[in-house]
């Protein structure tokens, strides 16, 4: 079972960004994160993943029309950790450049995406206060299905 170090402390920067005012970390020694480590995610030996102070996030990328069901703040801490993991995947892909079609590179980032999504799932399950299961699995399957577009390299990364 994992845990977060604290609640979120972030400042809103319109229209969709939040900047962490202090570090947010999630620790779960039971997760498999070898592929994430391989692409450059810093994970301690105890399974701790940290978003540093001033990390920029959009919380959860939930379309506004769906906020009646799942609002970004329902799963925000897990989403911030997930944002960091996807950012590292994008950076890895950008760094590979022309090799991005290489089978090994593709396997690395696809495996890292699966691990990032499993971290997201575990972090939502470990949230306190607890998140209803239907919200957890709705958010999880959304990133599994639609997250492939979020790991395409961007200029701001």
Helix (H, G, I), strand (E, B) or coil at 19: strand
pLDDT value of residue 1: 87
Instruction: Give alpha helix (H) positions in 39-132.
Output: 76-96, 103-125
Contact 55, 46 (CB under 8 A): no
Neighbours of 153 (CB within 10 A): 16
Report the percentage of the chain scoring pLDDT > 90. Answer: 76
- What digits encode the pLDDT tens for the residues 34-55? 999 999 999 999 999 999 999 9
- What digits encode the pLDDT tens for the residues 74-130? 899 999 999 999 999 999 999 987 766 788 888 999 999 999 999 999 999 999 999
Global confidence as pTM: 0.93
- What digits encode the pLDDT tens for the residues 1-45? 899 999 999 999 999 899 999 999 999 999 999 999 999 999 999
Question: What sign does the CA torsion over 136, 142, 148, 149 have?
Answer: negative
pLDDT averaged over every residue in the chain: 92
Neighbours of 113 (CB within 10 A): 22
């Amino acid at each position: 079972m994992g845990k977060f170090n604290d609640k979120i402390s972030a400042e809103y920067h319109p229209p969709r960004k939040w900047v962490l005012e202090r570090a947010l970390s999630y620790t779960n020694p039971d997760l498999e994160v070898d592929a994430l480590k391989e692409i450059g995610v810093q994970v301690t030996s105890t399974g701790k993943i940290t978003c540093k102070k001033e990390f920029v996030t959009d919380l959860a990328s939930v379309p506004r029309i769906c906020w009646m069901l799942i609002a970004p703040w329902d799963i925000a801490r897990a989403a911030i950790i997930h944002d960091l993991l996807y950012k590292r995947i994008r950076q890895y892909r950008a760094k590979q450049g022309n090799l991005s079609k290489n089978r090994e590179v593709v396997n690395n980032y696809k495996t890292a995406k699966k691990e990032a999504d499993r971290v997201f799932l575990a972090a939502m399950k470990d949230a306190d206060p607890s998140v209803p299961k239907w919200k957890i699995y709705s958010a999880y399957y959304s990133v599994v299905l639609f997250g492939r577009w979020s790991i395409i390299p961007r200029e701001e990364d």
